[in-house]
Structure 1
Amino acid sequence: MSQRVVVVGGGFAGAGVARRLERRLPDADLRLVAPEDYSLYLPLLPQVAAGVIPPPAAVVSLTTRLANTTLVPGRAVGVDVEARRVVVASITGEYEVLDYDRLVLAPGSVTKVIDVPGLREYGRGCKTLAEAEFLRDHVMAQLELANASSDPAERERRCRFVVVGGGYTGVETAANLQLMTTALVRRFHRLDPSLLRWHVVQHPPELMPGLGARLGEDTAATLRSRGVQVDLGTSLVEIDDGSARLSDGRTLATSTVIWAAGVAPSPLMGRLGLPTQRDRLVVGADLAVPGHPEVFALGDSAAVPDLAVGPDAVCPPTAQHATRQAPVAAANVVASLQGRPTKNYRHRDLGLVVDLGGTDAVAKPFGIGLAGLPAQAVTRGYHLWALRAPGAVARVAANWALHAAGMSNAVRLGFLGGSTGRLAEFEHTDGYLSPEQVREVVARS
């Protein structure tokens, strides 16, 4: 009987593991549990939201990428590590139980939500493809509604957009959407472009601290030159359907608060009954769970020791680390099945890139700070290299060229009109099972 390896998560980390296992374990029964049939390249989501590239350009098909892996369409909601069984909530709404000889956990991350009154109801995220599409529709609808309104207060409220979080996602989302709305507002003959207001609210005293003070200041200067108000040392206190209250006492009339203040590990990791570190599953440097050498974890939801930094450091939750952990995880799964020693993950961060739209960007490759066109060249070159799929590379490059030539087609699609836009709705953070519930489901299977 062939050995079964179950991989949880269809992102670039999980799909990368499955793809390598297909080559190294041709006779194994490989199962990949994922709610969608694609890998999403998260760094491009702000450009999807801004209509720079269409949604299909930011994804790579799993069924095209994988030849001998069975795709299980659903979400892993619990694991009985003692019985070696995974509980999957199928897209049909039913539970399915999968046995495994080896388990690889790469469920990714979700938007980090804190206890800000109204945030869960009125905050909007940009962490999934559905959220990015909803966000574009929502932002465009605000301009249309403002153009159709005769109420000055309503027009002002709908034309103000607040992004909370001055990290990479927040800055890229604000920068790209600001360019989109600046171009769109010219379409509306009754709407004064001077009404358009964008805010970036950041609790720390600088933008994107990981880039260093100078590049953070360059980024803030670029945003301010476009009319974006950058509020440093400020946080969101409360939000409702028509306003956002900040810690400096101001209340901003707005119908749009975009929450981009960090990510959190998948809720699955906290339901396993295994040790966690800041909600990330504790693993060794070989990506195996201590005490459970048949379970491996990688990516945003795993606390992987960062040997390139120091003995107590943990790899940051970035796409760069997740994709580079995949070959090590696959090799160690094979080694464990064949009774050979595993190897440790070690990778020095290559740097960070931030696309601000148009010709603006900041980057820090190999510790070298860049801004403007050189940074944009590095940023877009890195994204094309990281996609690692010729079809996706061609689609992204072609759409960048079309957008640069003024031929983009940002339109409100309207098919998400029945959605509330709540973070939990699109990111499916509800529905995970406790260890006791998992055992009940397993017992009934």
Structure 2
Amino acid sequence: MAAVKSEPTRILILGGGYVGLYTALGLQKKLRANEASVTVVDPQPHMTYQPFLPEAAAGAIEPRHVVVPLRRVLKRCHVLTARVTGIEHERKSVTVEAADGHTEHLSYDVLVVALGAVARILPIPGLAEQGIAFKTIGEAIYLRNHVMTKLDEAASTLDPELRKRLLTFTVVGGGFAGIEALAELEDMTRFATRYYENIEPEDIRWVLVEAAGRILPEVRETLGVWTAEQLEKRGIEVYLSTAAKSFEDGYVQLSDGTEFESDTIIWTAGVKANPVLAGSDLPVDKRGRMQATAGLQIVGHPDAWTAGDNAAVPDLSRTEEDPTATCPPNAQHAVRQARHLAKNIIRVVRGGQPKDYFHKNLGAVASLGLHKGVADALRLKIKGFPAWVFHRAYHVKAMPTFNRKVRITMDWLLGGLFRREVISLGQINYPKEEFDRASKSS
């Protein structure tokens, strides 16, 4: 009698970001036919390459080119557009809310928790009402149109105080996300003033607020100081060791007593683990992240895996000096962990043992606007134009799929030939406004 063929292993990946996408790509490439089925669950049908969000917001890259359609690239996987609302690992069940609003319960044999992080909102008065986060492509598009709309409004108003408020832009958070968003958008607004007869570059006020005593903690301190000096030379006000106390009605109050009005509050002051993790029956650390082994398995659960921003993965490159050290939440770690994770899952599915993840840091790079950058990479300090070139080369190499690499490169080439577009498409933020106005007048 022929042996009964076992069912394929059901692998469920929660999250379609860096970890979810790269893990699924690795699995679909290496798994044999009928060896396993892979399902990816994410509320968005695409993965966003976040390091390119500042350039997308500033008009250097077409926004659609910084996202990767999951269904297009994961041809051997099942993609479900849904939001994870609960994890019950003891029952091997995940609860999701599908795009149309109905609830489903998904079963699995192997679980990958890659839900990533969400914006960390502090209890600051007015933040929830006035703040704009900067983690998704939707927020980048909205922010670009919002900033350009403020220039249009400022060029039209006759009220000098209102004009001053409209032209004041505030960024809170001095990490990579905040500094790159600030630098790219400031560059864009300064370039845009040449098309406004009554707005000069010095009329626009950009303010950076950072609670710590330095910016860009990912690079050595001397480069952080140099970056702050370069921003100040461009007229950007930099407040270090300063906390935001209130944003109510657009009235900014800082801990050092500084007060001013601003119609734009960009919030990039940190992230936290997805709150769904806290309600699961899997172990989390004090910061709400999944407790992971160096082999990327969730502690105590060999059939559950994790990586990326929502995982506390031991950093073996630093554990000798600090036994509690974990890998920082950045794209470099997420991509490398995901590739390692896919290999480990295949090893275990085929009866082997996982290998530990060991990360060799390549450094960090940041864009500071067109032709400007800073990099702390390969034990070198790189500034200005060379760092900007290094930044673009590194990230276009890391961008998933050849299709997206070519499209982004073409965007850069066309931008160099014809300059960036600085037009406001603010109507997309209120697409029914004209229709509603026409309906009321009929």
- TM-score in terms of structure 2 length: 0.92
Q: Deviations over 1:69-102 (max 9, x none)?
A: 0101111111111110111111111111110000
Find the aligned partners of 2:217 and 2:298 in 1 and give their Cα distance.
Answer: 31
Give the alignment partner of residue 411 of structure 2, picking from 384, 396, 399. Answer: 399
Asked which structure has the greater CA Rg, the reply is 2
Find the aligned partners of 1:361 and 1:231 in 2 and give their Cα distance.
Answer: 20
**Identity across matched positions, percent:** 37
Give the alignment partner of residue 90 of structure 1, picking from 98, 111, 128. Answer: 98
Find the aligned partners of 2:411 and 2:342 in 1 and give their Cα distance.
Answer: 34
Cα 1:405/1:230, change in 2 over 3 Å: farther
Query: Do the aligned residues in 1 keep the contact of 2:295 with 2:356 (CA within 8 Å)?
Result: yes
Find the aligned partners of 1:417 and 1:76 in 2 and give their Cα distance.
Answer: 29
Find the aligned partners of 1:189 and 1:16 in 2 and give their Cα distance.
Answer: 48
**Aligned letter for 1:401?**
L
Q: Which residue of 2 aligns with 1:110?
A: 118
Find the aligned partners of 2:423 and 2:314 in 1 and give their Cα distance.
Answer: 44
Give the alignment partner of residue 288 of structure 1, picking from 283, 287, 297. Answer: 297
**Aligned letter for 2:295?**
D
SS in 1 for 2:78: strand
Q: Which residue of 1 aligns with 2:429?
A: 416
Q: Note the C-alpha offset of 1:205.
A: 1.4
Q: Deviations over 1:216-252 (max 9, x none)?
A: 1221121112111111111111002322111111111
Query: Do the aligned residues in 2 keep the contact of 1:52 with 1:410 (CA within 8 Å)?
Result: no
Query: Do the aligned residues in 1 keep the contact of 2:118 with 2:272 (CA within 8 Å)?
Result: yes
Find the aligned partners of 2:359 and 2:126 in 1 and give their Cα distance.
Answer: 40
- Say yes or no: does 1:208 pair with 2:216: yes
SS in 1 for 2:380: coil
Find the aligned partners of 1:63 and 1:418 in 2 and give their Cα distance.
Answer: 27
Q: Note the C-alpha offset of 1:194.
A: 2.6
Cα 1:276/1:346, change in 2 over 3 Å: same
Q: Which residue of 2 aligns with 1:6?
A: 12
Find the aligned partners of 1:406 and 1:250 in 2 and give their Cα distance.
Answer: 41
Task: Tell me the C-alpha RMSD between the 2 structures.
Answer: 1.5
Q: Note the C-alpha offset of 1:192.
A: 4.0
Q: Deviations over 1:338-371 (max 9, x none)?
A: 3321111111111100001111100011231110
Find the aligned partners of 2:347 and 2:72 in 1 and give their Cα distance.
Answer: 27
Report 1:296-335 matches (<5 A).
296-310=305-319, 311-335=323-347
Give the alignment partner of residue 379 of structure 1, picking from 391, 397, 404. Answer: 391
Q: Note the C-alpha offset of 1:327.
A: 2.1
| Larger deviation, residues 387-396 vs 158-167 | 387-396
Query: Do the aligned residues in 2 keep the contact of 1:358 with 1:404 (CA within 8 Å)?
Result: no
Q: Deviations over 1:41-93 (max 9, x none)?
A: 11011111111111112112222211210101111111111110111111111
Report 1:190-201 matches (<5 A).
190-201=198-209
Q: Which residue of 2 aligns with 1:146?
A: 154
Query: Do the aligned residues in 1 keep the contact of 2:114 with 2:307 (CA within 8 Å)?
Result: yes
SS in 1 for 2:428: coil
Q: Which residue of 2 aligns with 1:34?
A: 42
Report 1:172-321 matches (<5 A).
172-277=180-285, 278-310=287-319, 311-321=323-333
SS in 2 for 1:382: helix
**Aligned letter for 1:386?**
A
Query: Do the aligned residues in 1 keep the contact of 2:57 with 2:140 (CA within 8 Å)?
Result: yes
Q: Deviations over 1:391-420 (max 9, x none)?
A: 11111112122223343223322212379x
| Larger deviation, residues 54-63 vs 399-408 | 399-408
- TM-score in terms of structure 1 length: 0.91
| Larger deviation, residues 163-172 vs 25-34 | 25-34
- Say yes or no: does 1:164 pair with 2:167: no
Find the aligned partners of 1:113 and 1:250 in 2 and give their Cα distance.
Answer: 22
Q: Which residue of 1 aligns with 2:54?
A: 46
Q: Which residue of 2 aligns with 1:346?
A: 358
**Aligned letter for 1:170?**
G
**Aligned letter for 1:344?**
D
**Aligned letter for 2:101?**
G
Query: Do the aligned residues in 1 keep the contact of 2:294 with 2:314 (CA within 8 Å)?
Result: yes
Find the aligned partners of 2:137 and 2:25 in 1 and give their Cα distance.
Answer: 23
Find the aligned partners of 1:55 and 1:348 in 2 and give their Cα distance.
Answer: 31
